């Protein structure tokens, strides 16, 4: 069993912003894999599919980004899953737009949503897919930058990136995280 959590902020105001890349990713995967994301349960909108013979729960936390750990903990209590089988997908300003980084574990860095999840789980031992949204323009306020929508010229780059992230996720769910890292990092 796997849980795939896309980080973002709920609500229309944030829907197309850089900080909602995790939401955009999970919505894309849900559509491609024909999973219907339903009303919130366990503090998240969820949908289920079978992939590689495993049950996979796709989740969009309905808490704000900095409180994502509350939703992940509620999911873990409601759907008993080992933290090692929770894949978190989130934005990273330190990675250029169009690039992804896959890791099997590690600290949260400066990402407050990830810090919340690490704190709630009491573990850094879960895979993650970091989706590049950077760099922050020189002199720009980072908070303001992550809450801006992608420009029209960036959308094609983002779509290609999310497609590669989806292929990487499929490898992770099949038990091949090393191959995903080799192929996509």
Question: Could you tell me the two tokens for 146?
Answer: 């992550």
C-alpha span between 27 and 40 (Å, rounded): 14
The answer to whether 168 touches 180, Cβ cutoff 8 Å, is yes
Closest CA to 22 of 182, 175, 132, 167: 132
Which entry of 19, 52, 111, 176 is annotated as an active-site residue?
A: 19
Question: Could you tell me the two tokens for 76?
Answer: 């873990």
C-alpha span between 174 and 51 (Å, rounded): 8
Report residue 114 CA to chain centroid gap.
10
The answer to whether 60 touches 170, Cβ cutoff 8 Å, is no
The answer to whether 68 touches 43, Cβ cutoff 8 Å, is no
19 is catalytic: yes
Kindly list the catalytic residues: 19
């Amino acid at each position: 069993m796997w849980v795939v959590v896309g980080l973002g902020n709920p609500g229309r105001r944030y829907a197309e912003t850089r900080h909602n890349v995790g939401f955009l990713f999970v919505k894309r995967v849900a559509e491609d894999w024909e999973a219907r994301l339903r009303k919130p349960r366990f503090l998240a909108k969820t949908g289920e599919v079978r992939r590689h013979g495993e049950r996979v729960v796709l989740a969009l936390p309905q808490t704000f980004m900095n409180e994502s750990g509350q939703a992940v903990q509620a999911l873990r209590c409601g759907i008993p899953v080992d933290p090692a089988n929770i894949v978190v997908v989130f934005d990273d300003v330190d990675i250029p737009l169009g690039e992804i980084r896959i890791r099997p574990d590690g600290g949260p860095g400066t990402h407050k949503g990830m810090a919340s999840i690490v704190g709630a789980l009491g573990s850094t031992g879960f895979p993650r897919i970091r989706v590049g949204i950077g760099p922050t323009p020189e002199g720009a306020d980072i908070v303001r930058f992550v809450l801006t929508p992608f420009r029209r010229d960036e959308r094609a780059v983002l779509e290609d990136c999310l497609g590669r992230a989806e292929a990487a996720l499929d490898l992770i769910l099949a038990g091949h995280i090393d191959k995903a890292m080799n192929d996509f990092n």
